[in-house]
A and B are shown apart, each in its own frame.
Chain A
């Protein structure tokens, strides 16, 4: 089975721009979660989608949004970029995200905001 894929792997944007990141989960996985990792920080949860519905949301401003398509692929959008948005954005997929489920991560998208 192919793993979780994320595109693009690297992005450079300037303040005020917007960006869209893409994630393709493992085949058969219906839950997709997004995380932000900055230097010295753990994994900050952004949101989780299941069957095209956002089920959980972390404590991030409304500039961060996402969606999930019928094939479980997910996109994350950040509008009006700020310098502090520079981070590694990780996507993870799991079957259902309940109970004894395991989450598998993609390689991440490194976003740099200048």
Chain B
């Protein structure tokens, strides 16, 4: 069963606009979430994380929002740049295992 779900396989955004990537999770006991960015033929790179004690965490152009009641998190990229074009994975860890979503492919159009 997919513990973490990314229902949008792809997203296209104009350069300079906001990109919003969404992720849903199944277990309300999950308390730590991460976003990774992946370019083709490379390993994923850690981007930003959030603990369940917060509802927002910001790092430069990247902000992650957590809505615990809805079991939903989102990654906002503002402003979007062509170099942000990549596959984005959300993830959580519980016990000794990390769970990853299936990824959203973001294309930022110049």
B96 touches which one: A4, A50, A106 (CB < 8 A)?
A: A50
Task: Report the Cα distance A100→B102, complex, angstroms.
Answer: 21
Give the residue of A41, A43, A56 whose beta carbon is less than 8 angstroms from that of B44.
A43
Give every chain A residue within 8 A of B96 (Cβ-Cβ).
Answer: 31, 48, 50, 55-56, 97-98
B39 to chain A, nearest CB (A): 10
- Stretch of B11-19, B45-53, B70-78 on the interface side: B45-53
- Sorting the interface of chain A by its residue count into under 10, 10 to 19, 20 to 34 or 35 or more gives 20 to 34
- Least Cβ–Cβ distance between B57 and chain A, in angstroms: 12
Would B97 and A56 count as touching, CB distance under 8 A?
A: yes
- Residue interface mask B44-85, A partner, CB < 8 A = 1: 111001010000000000000000000000000000000000
Chain A residue nearest in CB terms to B43 = A105
Give CA–CA (A50, B96) in the complex, Å: 9
Task: Report which A residues bind B (CB closer than 8 A).
Answer: 4, 6, 31, 33, 35, 41-43, 45, 48, 50, 55-56, 88, 90, 92, 94, 97-108, 110
16 further A-B pairs in the complex, CB-CB below 8 A; given A33-B98, A56-B95 = A42-B89, A42-B102, A43-B44, A45-B99, A45-B100, A97-B97, A100-B49, A101-B32, A103-B46, A103-B98, A104-B46, A105-B36, A105-B44, A105-B46, A106-B43, A108-B41
